[in-house]
Chains A and B, each alone.
Chain A
């Protein structure tokens, strides 16, 4: 029905809170890479976003990733781009867009990691608080 269907919506002035929930290890499945593509595209829409890492998803941010033995691209430097987008948006008063990078405390601890082991600056948040934040979102997308 692509031809006779309005395929664009009027979203002018609409502002929502998005949460992107990264739950899986960076390699072993494509979810981490493809949700990252989603996060990057969303930046153009200037929406509020919480980019959250829980469970094995916390490994996505680990420093020193080496994928040479896997024959896969190491896409972890792209998280720095996310961090830059976040800083740019948060520092620019003309853009009504707040981004947060959040790592669940319990997931981090269970894997013997701390914030210093990660590639980007993060907010470490306890599961209970994160749960409340998730409930307050308009749109939750996961990978």
Chain B
């Protein structure tokens, strides 16, 4: 069934999305013509706000496919009808994230060089393969879902996608995990942390999109399904905060990391503010309250919780990516250092408008692809209520 909203609504949404994409492309062109000097980035914070947008979308793209995996790999019937939408959102967000990442390159026109020159020891290069492979596997997975004669291969494709995205999200975490000299990174924990974060962020995005689709079609999501998905989001958010806490506790335990943790948790200005206020309170505690409180947990509070999880994700990534670079490298342990190049000093970084617009352009691209996909193909979840009632209680 196609959404009930008419062509006018579709073209209005498409227009809005394309406008965002246009603004993003214009911004990238501006950055390309003038150089990155028009951004807030410098020689110390070399990955700025566009990376926050890009990594959010790439990580959430992997996590959003969890909905399909729970359905076709783990046989949970509530999630099966949602698998196509989950696959579409995965492709759309991956495309949006990669668009931002590519357009933020110093030489985006040399993208073809990245495809033809391959350094096998680079995690970035692995990710080039992982991201393009993800497109192929999810496209195949969608095909096995839509083409009736291929339905029997859907589970195998689902398992392949599940394994691939575990590797992909590990790869994204390890982009940072393999950075040997940075206090914020260089941790194997980042691979599982990114996987669990992807579950929470992906499901939050899915719930927001699903809620919008039901709203535009004037349909009501079955309360039992809504409660199950809300509970699952809560579990993912709780698991993610556990790993974030372990990451900081490990750092706090190591004396050599004490100064960095003091910076991120207490003294770093915007970074502790975003970590505590944005991630811990708004992005974790509040959603958990909204999702698990016995008197709350309705469709609106679930939607609010999902939106807060996404906001918390941006706050966490900002602290992780920008804060991790703003803290100075320790070239001379046990010494206070200073130089004309900012050695020993906290780097000042404020994102400037081209970065915001490029990031929003990526969101716009994901929105456009989702809108076209939903319009052109059958992505609206169709629940089989008889099968749902037969499922044992307490399923995820």
**Are A and B genuine complex partners?**
no
